[in-house]
Amino acid sequence: MKRPISELIKNYQDKMQFARAFRYALWMIGWDTETEAPRGALEERSIHVGTLSRELHNFSTSQEMIDLVQELFDRKDELDSLMHTEIKKTHKYLMRQLKVPVDEYVEYQMLLSKTQTIWADAKNNNDYNAFKPYLEKIIFFKQKMMSYWQTDTLQGYDVLLDQFEEGMTSTEYDEFFVALKKDLVPFVKGITSLPKQEFSFLNQSYDIDKQKAFSHYIMDVLMFDRTRGLMKESEHPYTSGMTSQDVRWTNHFHEKLITSSIFSAIHELGHATYEQQCNPDLDKTNLGGGTSMAMHESQSRFYENIVGRSFAFWNVHFPKVQALFPSQLKDVTVEEWVKAVNQVENSLIRTEADELTYPLHIMVRYDIERAIMKQELTVEELPQEWNRLMKAYLDIDVPSDREGILQDVHWSSGMFGYFPTYALGSAYAAQIYYAMKRDFDVEDSLASGNTQAINEWLKQKIHWHGSTKTAKQLLLEATNEPFNPQYYIEYLKTKYQSIYR
Amino acid sequence: MKRPISELIKNYQDKMQFARAFRYALWMIGWDTETEAPRGALEERSIHVGTLSRELHNFSTSQEMIDLVQELFDRKDELDSLMHTEIKKTHKYLMRQLKVPVDEYVEYQMLLSKTQTIWADAKNNNDYNAFKPYLEKIIFFKQKMMSYWQTDTLQGYDVLLDQFEEGMTSTEYDEFFVALKKDLVPFVKGITSLPKQEFSFLNQSYDIDKQKAFSHYIMDVLMFDRTRGLMKESEHPYTSGMTSQDVRWTNHFHEKLITSSIFSAIHELGHATYEQQCNPDLDKTNLGGGTSMAMHESQSRFYENIVGRSFAFWNVHFPKVQALFPSQLKDVTVEEWVKAVNQVENSLIRTEADELTYPLHIMVRYDIERAIMKQELTVEELPQEWNRLMKAYLDIDVPSDREGILQDVHWSSGMFGYFPTYALGSAYAAQIYYAMKRDFDVEDSLASGNTQAINEWLKQKIHWHGSTKTAKQLLLEATNEPFNPQYYIEYLKTKYQSIYR
């Protein structure tokens, strides 16, 4: 006799709540590690993190859990639409997890527990050879997983791409990047060949306490709810929310880099706004939080670049920066400031790249990942191929592997297929911007001194839905058309033609 | 056939390590709650804290665990001395836990989960009647537990006293408090009847960032190891260490109360030094950290009062405070400063009391707790008895329950038997001080600018041993005699006679 569906749901929800307690503990410990844990704490905590992760893993893949999820999945037509979506997601992840033999999974996790440190040392010592054998092992595991996870419709590199951005395949990314290559590479060359303007005020010292005060000011401008989150410091800024009720983000402050703390703040607050504006009813499901990497990145880049680097924004807020730093900025006009924070430059390091050249950095990585996964490129050949692509797309010579192939942490944590979501996010942001403009005057709304109108629009169209819909669905519904990279190209050309006219 | 003892030990240690992961997670979440969690986080976290606590409790009291601990306890003669001590402690706590019926334990925990809030509201509204029925329930449970936990040698209130200070009974506390009453009450009356000297510089405003800077300076003076701990802010200062490698403490800062942040810092750093100087080999046992409440409090009060309120200390460090706050302190001499921070005053609030009158506040609570547990006093009669005792010991009229019977959080969390350890700690500190003085010139050693000599002595005699020895044992070994309250009385009289001569 079949058990009543309500009983299965109750059982499932209790189990999910139980698992969430472990995730919550691990989240809390991770936050502490990133923001304040003293060095002495790290050894012991790694043991405890191991224990809690193992418990969570055993619980989540127990036979009881598998049977329960399978039964709910088989009877999904009896579920309401939200539970239907949740079970499909849980089932998909669980099946993916179960396809990897436990021993291999453990071996891979143990490999990854070392490789970040090895990569960091290799980078510091500019020694690609020290990292190479580990990168080779990671790729070996990734290729095995690709074979476990492949389906009739999803094969090769597409398997990895789908993990970070559901429904995006290399065919679609190829189209996107071909369009970028065709339009953007020559456009960038045109701009970077112009004589470079110097903005010496950006190289001055800016008191760190005042930079922090400005980050707090920005929090108010973007209407961050401080009763449901907080800002702290960490080496690399990031945002992390367990639920819509507790969204934390970090910033970093360098005396000589005023723009770094300002745009990191706006960027992270974009992520944070997405998380805070999710429907709180989703907090107790697996459908809370942003729906995909690219959609999350679209929000951070929307606020950082489209809003935060606009004239309309600084026309209101530049006087505040100027008042905080009179000696450095008293002779600077808002026009100069906006030009300075939008300066285009061919550069080596992705994380420091400007908005216009940024996607070209992503293209280098995408081309390389695809070639690796197609086994057209060996780890031996990586540095050379990296340098060749940097020359082709950015017209720049790479002087060392530290500033080249070794610069990013991602591959050392097995994150292949992640990079393209950064560029896709920027392109989503542009398409969203054009849709928003059809509804109200975005620039005009900034004159109010905050982002209320923007927040509201994004909340309704995107944030509130959490991950109940895929990024593709959300984009279609929010903008009334499928993903179209032309908006991104048009946005970039319009903006930078006006700045560099 | 008996299993080899080494196998049992290994099994036991694995289980303890497993349990520690849960304690660690709960510790981390608690630290976050006290120091930075946004309000929005609290509802969800209480569910997760419940899940993790329940798991820990179920694991720690499982039949498998009981059998294992019992077997190790029965075969304790086969264990080395450290493991012997550990098993005795584990066994004692486990047996105590098992004596309480699970349903009653859960009911009591659920009661306590509400009563702190109810107490806080009652205090804010000066409404003892709102708290009374809950206090009655707590006492009812406490009395049941006393009956479960009593032994041939331990009965009544002594059962509760033993929980916080192993081996201390009401007979011993009675002797201690009778000695205090006889000598201290008249001595305090003599001093408080003198005309009060005003130190107006204490009532001025002190910039909070500079107060923080001075807390960091004090950290260096007391040689706190920042690679194994950190300072943060919370409403009430406290110290919390999971192991010797990660010891965290908090301070609070009020513009109008410079002395509060200074002496809270020295006090908490006393606790922190104890934790940091424990033998790290004990971190993976249940014998790490301070051995008892009173011994812990003896260390915080040793640093705060005996070191931190001495002329020798301020003779070195007052110039630093003066340099930070020239406008407030430029005309103040170090003699005036020392007199000001040692001013004696009959006051209503325990946590704000000076060193000399502090134990009289404890006596009020001790007398009341003992009478409650002997059922000689009903909750109805508590406020009146409180006010009567405050008049008798401190010669002060209590204007409201908020400043009287409702002032402390302890009873609302079921902590009966805790208060006397505060006074006992101060008395331990004095006895330790006289022993230390026999070995080296304590005042003289402070001229070096830090507490290295003091730290070293305390490390060797007390801190290093963690809780491998009871407080009574440690005190005997460190001072070459059993607990003798006369040192405390002599210390207080000598010090305050000299200040108020």
Residue B204 amino acid letter: Q
Instruction: Record the tokens describing residue B361, joined without a space.
Output: 């506040």
Instruction: Tell me what pLDDT residue A287 has.
Output: 96
Verdict on whether the full-model pTM lies above 0.90: yes
Name the nearest CA neighbour of A247 among A268, A266, A221. A268
If you measure CA to CA, which chain A residue comes closest to B23? A48
For the beta carbon of residue B457, count every other beta carbon within 10 angstroms.
20
Q: Which residues contact B195 (CB under 8 A, 6 or more apart)?
A: none
Label residue B313 exposed, middle or buried (CB < 10 Å: 0-12, 13-18, 19+): buried
Q: What is the largest CA-CA distance in chain B?
A: 81
pLDDT at A306: 98
> Which of B469-497 are b and which e, b meaning 16 or more Cβ less than 10 Å from the residue's Cβ?
bbbbebbeebbeeebbbebbbebbeebbe
Round to whole Å and give the CA distance between B102 and B357.
Answer: 42
Exposed / middle / buried, residue B67 (Cβ in 10 Å: 0-12, 13-18, 19+): exposed
AA identity, residue A374: K
What type of residue is B152? D
pLDDT tens digits, one per residue of B230-239: 999 998 899 9
CB B232 within 8 A of CB B253: no
How far apart are the C-alpha atoms of A482 and B4, rounded to whole Å?
69
Element containing residue B190 per DSSP (H, E): helix B170-192
- Mean pLDDT, residues B338-342 taken together: 97
Does the beta-carbon distance from A229 to B47 stay under 8 Å?
no
Count of CB atoms within 10 A of residue A288's CB? 21
- Alpha carbon distance B169, B153 (integer Å): 10
Q: Which fold has domain A170-345+413-499?
A: Neurolysin; domain 3 (1.10.1370)
Judging contacts by C-beta atoms under 8 Å, the chain A residues touching residue B242 are 44
Q: Residue B34: pLDDT above 90?
A: no
Which residue from B274, B324, B278, B280 is spatially nearest to B303, judged by alpha carbons?
A: B274
For B397, phi then psi, to 5°, come to -90, 135
Neighbours of B460 (CB within 10 A): 12
Cα A86 off chain centre by: 23
Judged by CB atoms closer than 8 Å, whether chains meet at A230 and B29 is answered as no
What residue type is assigned to position A404 of the chain? G
User: What pLDDT sits at residue A109?
Assistant: 86
Q: How far is CA B410 from CA A88, A207, B112, B416, B418, in A?
A: 49, 44, 11, 7, 8
Catalytic pick among B165, B268, B304, B385? B268
- Whether residues A44 and B226 touch (CB distance < 8 A) is answered with no
Interface of A with B (CB under 8 A): 17-18, 20-22, 24-25, 28-29, 31-32, 36-41, 43-45, 47-48, 51-52, 55, 225-230, 232, 242-243, 245-246, 283
Residue B233: beta bridge partners? B251
Which of B151-188 are b and which e, b meaning 16 or more Cβ less than 10 Å from the residue's Cβ? Answer: eeebebbbbbbbbbbbebbbebbeebbebbbebbbebb
What residues of chain A score a pLDDT lower than 50? none
Tokens of A412: 């050392």
Give the pLDDT of residue A178: 96
B1 pLDDT higher than 80: no
CA A216 to each of CA A210, A219, A246, A261, B475: distance values in angstroms, whole numbers, following the listed order: 10, 5, 17, 11, 51
DSSP 8-state assignment for residue B285: S
Name residue A173's amino acid: Y
pLDDT at A160: 96
Arithmetic mean of pLDDT over chain B = 95
Two structure tokens written together for B218: 């004090």
Show me where the domains of chain A are located: 5-149, 170-345+413-499
Q: Which helix (H) or strand (E) holds B272?
A: helix B258-276
Report the residue count for chain B.
501
Q: Is B376 exposed, middle or buried (0-12, 13-18, 19+ CB in 10 A)?
A: exposed
B89/B287 Cα distance (integer angstroms):
9
- Taking a C-beta distance cutoff of 8 angstroms, is the pair B253, A64 a contact? no
Q: What is the pLDDT of residue B106?
A: 84
CB A277 within 8 A of CB A463: yes
- Which of A237, A253, A264, A266 minimizes the C-alpha distance to A205? A253
Please enumerate residues of B whose Cβ is less than 8 A from a Cβ of A.
17-18, 20-22, 24-25, 28-29, 31-32, 36-41, 43-45, 47-48, 51-52, 55, 225-230, 232, 242-243, 245-246, 283
With an 8 Å Cβ cutoff, are B38 and A229 in contact?
yes
CB-CB contact of A366 with A393 (8 Å):
no
Three-state SS at B290? coil
pLDDT confidence of residue A2: 86
Burial of B73 (0-12, 13-18, 19+ CB in 10 A): middle
State chain A's maximal CA–CA distance in angstroms. 81
Using CA atoms, how far apart are residues B82 and B145, in angstroms rounded to an integer?
Answer: 30
Interface A–B counts its CB contacts (< 8 A) at: 99
- Is there a contact between B21 and A243 if contact means CB atoms under 8 Å apart? no
* Residue that has been written with the tokens 């081309």 in this structure: A367
Best of B18, B232, B245 to disrupt the A interface (most A CBs within 10 Å) is B245
8 Å CB contact between B175 and B363: no
CA distance A239 to A258: 20
- Sheet containing B239-243, strands listed edge to edge, beginning at the edge strand earlier in sequence: B229-233, B246-251, B239-243
Residue A128 tokens read as 């690609």
Q: Which residues contact B85 (CB under 8 A, 6 or more apart)?
A: B287, B468
Specify the pairing of strand A229-233 against strand A246-251: parallel
A283-298 pLDDT, tens digit each? 999 999 999 999 999 9
Q: Which residues of B275-309 are buried (b: 16+ CB within 10 A; e: fewer)?
A: bbbbbbebbebbbbbbbbbbbbbbbbbbbbbbbbb
Q: What does A74-116 look like in DSSP terms, one character per residue?
A: HTGGGS-HHHHHHHHHHHHHHHHHHHS-HHHHHHHHHHHHHHH
- In this structure, are residues B260 and B233 in contact, taking their beta carbons and an 8 Å threshold? no
Residues A366, A430: Cα–Cα separation, whole Å: 21
DSSP secondary-structure letter at A303? I
Instruction: Check if the beta carbon of residue A213 is closer than 8 Å to that of residue A324.
Output: yes
Asked whether the predicted pLDDT for residue B103 surpasses 90, the reply is no
Instruction: Find tokens 């490789």 and name the residue.
Output: A115
CA pair distance B92, B162, nearest whole angstrom: 12
- Is residue A268 part of the annotated active site? The answer reads yes
- Residue A116's pLDDT is 86
Q: Return the amino acid letter for A15.
A: K
**Cα angle B488-B336-B351, degrees, rounded to a multiple of 5:** 50
Q: Cα–Cα distance between B219 and B226 in angstroms, integer?
A: 9
Mutate one of B14, B20, B24 to test the A interface: name it (highest A CB count within 10 A). B24
| Exposed/middle/buried for residue A7 (C-beta within 10 Å: 0-12, 13-18, 19+) | exposed
Short-list A113, A100, A114, CA closest to A143: A100
Q: Name the CA radius of gyration of chain B, rounded.
A: 23
